[in-house]
Chain A
Amino acid sequence: MKNKTRNDIILAGILLLLAAAGFLLFTMLKSEGDIAAVIIDGKEVSRYPLDAELKTVITTESGVNTLVIKDGVVYISEADCPDGICVDHAPIKHVGETIVCLPHKLVIKIESKKTEMSLDAAA
């Protein structure tokens, strides 16, 4: 009888611990904000939090693009690429969204470690 109670307490303790760990992990992940990853020729070169406010020039082998983060959205304000498609692209902010500058082999991608719905591709 005594033994049984002790085991119950151990089990309850472990469950509590697991729950606490789960809760901690959950809040840790949740508090980690979305970021904009800068990927040149397939290699991530930098990342910025979306709650930042900044304007920075990204230099690639083929040319430069000006990245702007403002009010939680990301866009390219200027670029010296021939087509200017990256500049015309609407601002992005949702996880999985990308802006691509093909001539410069540049991808700006919104990433997150949160478990909310995110985009895997766009067509």
Chain B
Amino acid sequence: MKKVLLLFLITCVLTSCSKSPEKFTNYYFDYFDTVTTVTGYADSKDSFDEVCGEIETMLKDYHQLYTIYNRYDGINNLYTVNTTDGAVEVDERIIDLLEYAKEVYAMTGGKTNVAMGSVLSIWHDHRTIGSNHPEKATLPPMERLVKAADHTDIEKIIIDRENSTVELADSEMSIDVGALAKGYATEMVAKWLEDNGYTGYILNVGGNVRTVGAKADGEKWTVGLENPDATGEDDAYIEYLSLAGETVVTSGSYQRYYIVDGKQYHHIIDPETLMPSENFRSVSVICDNSALGDALSTALFCMTYEDGMALVESLDGVEAMWLSNIGEVKYSNGFDKYRQ
């Protein structure tokens, strides 16, 4: 009897060693103007690379469809929609994104508006020049921004799902999905993993972090929330989160900016003031959908803490952390359960 038990024990030890999956990481640099990290558990590097091949194909497709800066042969993307008069036949994934964008617009009271392209492109041009040639850095003239803001009505994005077309009913308007596209693509990749039975993955598309299940050993993933004002290696993170299946997205004034007369001007433009929102240093959102997290972190960044808190508390399964300009940190009521 004891021999049997012993054999059983030894077998357990041996098999658990040979069967435990290994952790792998791959990097991608060509999508959404950022670095994408895919980490996951697989039995071999080959089987991990096979999954990553599918992931990269998806990232590439979403990048090419959602970009407003390039055209691609044989694809009608958002660049095509922005530069074409009349209805443009588009891939279903563009219809899906824009319909979701309208939902998010309603949810955030217009703070996340993908029809802001006319305003955002002016900021984008000034930021690009100012970053490349600091001596030529200037602010966009307010009258230009105000004029452009007349052409930001999201209702004028006409979506026809039946015929799979999109039309901009205002010829001076343009679409900019920067507040949403990265998160939406991340979510679609995560959904694909879940639907195909993969678990134990963590996707990081330029700070848009989405976990798929827990780690192979059942432990949750550890995600650090960056401290934008870190002075060294010891205060690099404000918070450590434990996640398994959730997403966390941070919008921050430190991520993309340029300097005019010694002052930083970042990339998150408040639709009301048409200027970079100065409410916070960063806002992080935890929820179960990376597209929602992406859109909400932008919206909360442009709202007061009180309004943002009310919005977060009105939504199921959404938590947020606000970091003020003086370093004060505030949390929504359920945030604590994710903290380490």
Q: Which residues of A contact B (CB under 8 A)?
A: 7, 10-11, 14, 18, 39, 41-42, 73, 82-83, 90-94, 96-98, 100, 102, 105, 107, 117-123
Contact = CB atoms under 8 A, between A and B. Distances in A.
A100 B6 CA distance: 50
A120 B223 contact: yes
A119 B248 CA distance: 14
B2 A96 contact: no
Which size class do B's interface residues fall under? Answer: 35 or more
A39 B224 contact: no
Given A119-B224, A123-B208, 18 more contacts: A42-B28, A83-B131, A92-B233, A102-B29, A102-B35, A105-B29, A117-B222, A119-B222, A120-B202, A120-B215, A121-B39, A121-B202, A121-B204, A121-B224, A122-B207, A122-B225, A122-B237, A123-B204
B3 to A, nearest CB: 8
Main secondary structure of the interface of B (DSSP, over half): strand
Given A117-B222, A120-B202, A121-B204, A97 B236 contact: yes
Contacts of B232: 73, 90-91
Interface string B190-218: 00000000000010100111000001000
Contacts of A93: 233
B37 interface: yes
B26 A121 contact: no
B308 to A, nearest CB: 17
B13 A18 contact: yes
Contact of A7 (B2, B10, B248): B2
A90 B226 CA distance: 11
Contacts of A120: 39, 202, 215, 221-223
Contact of B225 (A11, A42, A118, A123): A123
A119 B6 contact: no
A123 to B, nearest CB: 5
Contact of A121 (B6, B131, B209, B231): B209
8 contacts: A39-B27, A73-B233, A94-B236, A119-B240, A121-B202, A122-B225, A123-B223, A123-B250
A123 B248 contact: yes
B233 A123 contact: no
A10 B7 CA distance: 12
Contacts of B26: 42
A98 B25 CA distance: 13
A41 B35 CA distance: 10
Contacts of B207: 122-123
Nearest to B234: A93
Among B10, B35, B204, B233, max chain A CB count under 10 A is at B233
A83 B3 CA distance: 66
Nearest to A37: B25
Given A11-B2, A102-B29, A105-B29, A119 B230 contact: no
B248 to A, nearest CB: 5
Nearest to B5: A11
Contact of B209 (A42, A97, A123): A123
